[in-house]
Amino acid sequence: MLGSLLALKPRDVPVRVALRNAVGVVAPLAIGYWSGHVDIGLAVATGALNTMFTDQPGPYRLRAQWMLMAALSAGLSALLGILVGEHSLVFVVAVLIFAFVGGMMVALGPMAARVGLTSMIVMMVTADMRLAPANAPGVAALISAGGLLQMLLAVAAWPLHRYRPERFALADLLQQLADTARSRPDAALRPPVSQAALEALVMLHGEHRARGAAMQSFRVVAEICERVRMDLLALSDLHARLEDAAARRCIEAVLDDAGRSLDVLSESVRSGQLESPQASVEAIEADVRSLGAAIAATSRRSDARLLRIARTRADSLTGQLRALLRNARLASSRGEIQAQLSEVRLPRALRSDAPLATLRANLDGTSVAFRHAVRCALCVGFAAACERALTIPHGIWIPMTAAIVLKPDFGGTLRFGVLRTAGTFAGLLLTTVIAHYAMQGAALRLLLMGVLCMAFRLLATVNYAVGVAMLTGMLVLLLSFTGIAPADAVHARLVATLLGSALALAAYALWPTWEGRRVGANLGRLIDAYRNHLAAVCSGSIAPLVDSRATARRARTNAQASLERLRAEPMRRASTSELKKAESILANASRLIRATVMLEALARDGAQLPGGEQMAAFARQADAILGGIAEALAGDRAAELPLLRPTERRLHAVLLPLVDREDPIATAMDDACDRIADSVDTLAYLLRPADRDAPATAAAAVAG
């Protein structure tokens, strides 16, 4: 828990985005101040500050939609806040409704949750201003105008850089592939590049994708990247299993040269100017020839078998890199892959459901979103009622803090509460310096506010406490334009932070949603997704693979997030055993999907998988066992499941004559099925009853 509080995450907000967001906030305030209309400038700056959080990477069309929604929601929230501000009872009811709806928005994803939270805050802030109802339409329009200004700044490059988001997504994907080639990740770890591949898929095939001839080329590059990924993972796994040091160095040379080629291609796609990695591709061809020499030189039969598989995958990797080179230009040649992809749709697993249907489905006591919404409504509503009843100066910051800190999970609530408190204390020092040195002139305050706004936008996702420190200083400067003294603002913010954070933590403690009760269901969905993907691979049909792979990646992301939430909870004896078991299941699930990569690579090569009926029997048995594992995990129960190894041994007997003749397809398939059986049987063993005494079965499941 302490580690999660102190961790520094990679910065995910580009400097150019932070700069334009700061301009959107400071420019209206500066114009309003020097034109003698400070109130107008403050209203527009408030709308810009509210909307800048929805300026996220993605297609311009999607970015504009979210920012427009945030701007209009802020305007409507401000309108309602001013109308109910003078009536405390009506205000508390409005807070309850906004908090419940905002809590339910987490069911629609992080962006919707962010819009719901900021709309709630705008409503409470404008209600606390106690303006006359006649001013409500004008203030609401100004706040919406600030949001629209941020939106226009965010999409200003659309006509000039029409495909920039798509190019940058592909460049990130290529860069992560290059990093994978160099790092050679362990098979028990999370499969690399999955998130970048999902983002590229949504970018290129999603509802808000760009249109134009260049998009076909981008889709070609994304599809080839998936094939490159499979070859890189296969080579990494083979490298880890080789015993001969010279043979390992041969594969290392292939992977290192592939990494250099991918680095060059990534930079080329990002800049839009092609730089040819031809020399690196030719170096890989030389590395492939050295693999042939290593096969002849090795004395270990097992290493020779693995090297033959590696040579096939290295040949495939060379071809894919050449295809990437050909298709990296916007006006690329139209090959077979492009023809196949021209009508590809976004996989079903990544299509957004109808929002109203999703919200209706979550109106249930077992839903995390519903429990969070109820918790949020009661907590924030209670804070708002107490603030109105006690007439605390600047007391509106108490329910605001409670709304910001309260998250659907314990770890998130604790982390945001502690980090917000720590950041506010750190902001005290910053605001003391600001009050002493920077309050003399408006120009200096505006300049410093722009710097702090940029710093907040850049650092809030790196470490929330650092971001809050920047935010505290920015708010002190913002409030100084309304005539509020820095000392009063700092004191009110400190008290509100302590009370709001404590209230949020108490609300979660009174009605928690422990992740240990949900992690099994998430792991069950993961195994079921892997089962469907394995079935699609074994069928030899390419068409279902895009959808099954996307579903598996989404399930993996959800399972990984579930484990992270479990790790952030207080460790009890039960949760400790749950965590160990879940980590073991996740590690073996990773080994399973990495073993499946080899079969998928063969299917994409157009190879006809040998084995006949015995291969079909292996696929049916694997499907049945994985289905039983998924049901046991979803029901949080132990299970007695058969082993896959006997069926795999019968398949091995059928493939052995082909393997002895050094058939590359049969050799790779035999190796992949051996690893699949090992992973499936280990998963089945992990779910056996705890009091079952089966050392022989355990040895058979683990040793493979």
What value does the mean pLDDT of the chain take? 83
**C-alpha 260: how far from its chain's center?**
26
184: which 2 tokens?
Answer: 């050679």
All residues at 6 or more sequence positions from 601 whose CB lies less than 8 Å from its CB, including other chains = 227, 230, 231, 234, 313, 316, 668
Q: How many CB atoms lie within 10 A of CB 89?
A: 10
| Per-residue pLDDT band at 325 (split at 50, 70, 90) | confident
246: which 2 tokens?
Answer: 């010279």
- Asked whether 215 and 185 are in contact (CB, 8 A), the reply is no
pLDDT at residue 211, as a whole number: 67
pLDDT at 266 > cutoff 60: yes
CA–CA separation, 589 vs 182, rounded Å? Answer: 23
All residues at 6 or more sequence positions from 386 whose CB lies less than 8 Å from its CB, including other chains = 398
pLDDT at residue 348, as a whole number: 64
Amino acid at 284: I
Angle at 110 between CA 106 and CA 116, to 5 degrees: 60
pLDDT digits (tens, 9 = 90+) for 7-46: 777 787 888 899 999 999 999 999 998 998 889 999 999 9
160: which 2 tokens?
Answer: 């000039």
pLDDT at 106 > cutoff 60: yes
Amino acid at 510: L
pLDDT at 73 > cutoff 70: yes
Q: How many CB atoms lie within 10 A of CB 615?
A: 18
Buried b (16+ CB within 10 A) or exposed e, 494-512: bbbbbbbbbbbbebbeeee
pLDDT at 60 > cutoff 50: yes
The matching CATH number, chosen from 2.20.25, 3.30.2450, 1.10.287, 1.20.58, for 164-329 is 1.20.58
Please give the class, per CATH, of domain 517-703: mainly alpha
pLDDT at 129 > cutoff 70: yes
pLDDT at residue 276, as a whole number: 60
220: which 2 tokens?
Answer: 């070609």
All residues at 6 or more sequence positions from 627 whose CB lies less than 8 Å from its CB, including other chains = 528, 531
CA–CA separation, 704 vs 700, rounded Å? Answer: 6
599: which 2 tokens?
Answer: 């079969």
Q: How many CB atoms lie within 10 A of CB 354?
A: 8
**C-alpha 678: how far from its chain's center?**
30
Give the Å distances, CA to CA, from 249 to 178, 240, 242, 307, 526: 18, 11, 10, 12, 35
Q: How many helices (H) and strands (E) does the chain have?
A: 28, 0
Least confident of 98-112, 206-220, 537-551: 206-220
Ordered by start, the domain boundaries in the chain are 2-159+356-510, 164-329, 517-703
CA–CA separation, 477 vs 485, rounded Å? Answer: 10
CA–CA separation, 330 vs 71, rounded Å? Answer: 35
The arithmetic mean of pLDDT across residues 453-461, rounded, is 89
| Per-residue pLDDT band at 430 (split at 50, 70, 90) | confident
pLDDT at residue 208, as a whole number: 66
Q: Do domains 164-329 and 517-703 have the same CATH topology?
A: yes
pLDDT at residue 332, as a whole number: 37
Alpha helices in 35-87 (DSSP H): 38-51, 60-84
pLDDT at 93 > cutoff 90: yes
Closest to 376 (Cα-Cα) out of 413, 411, 421, 424: 413
pLDDT at residue 277, as a whole number: 60
pLDDT at residue 94, as a whole number: 94
| Per-residue pLDDT band at 91 (split at 50, 70, 90) | very high
| Per-residue pLDDT band at 610 (split at 50, 70, 90) | confident
pLDDT at 450 > cutoff 50: yes
pLDDT at residue 337, as a whole number: 42
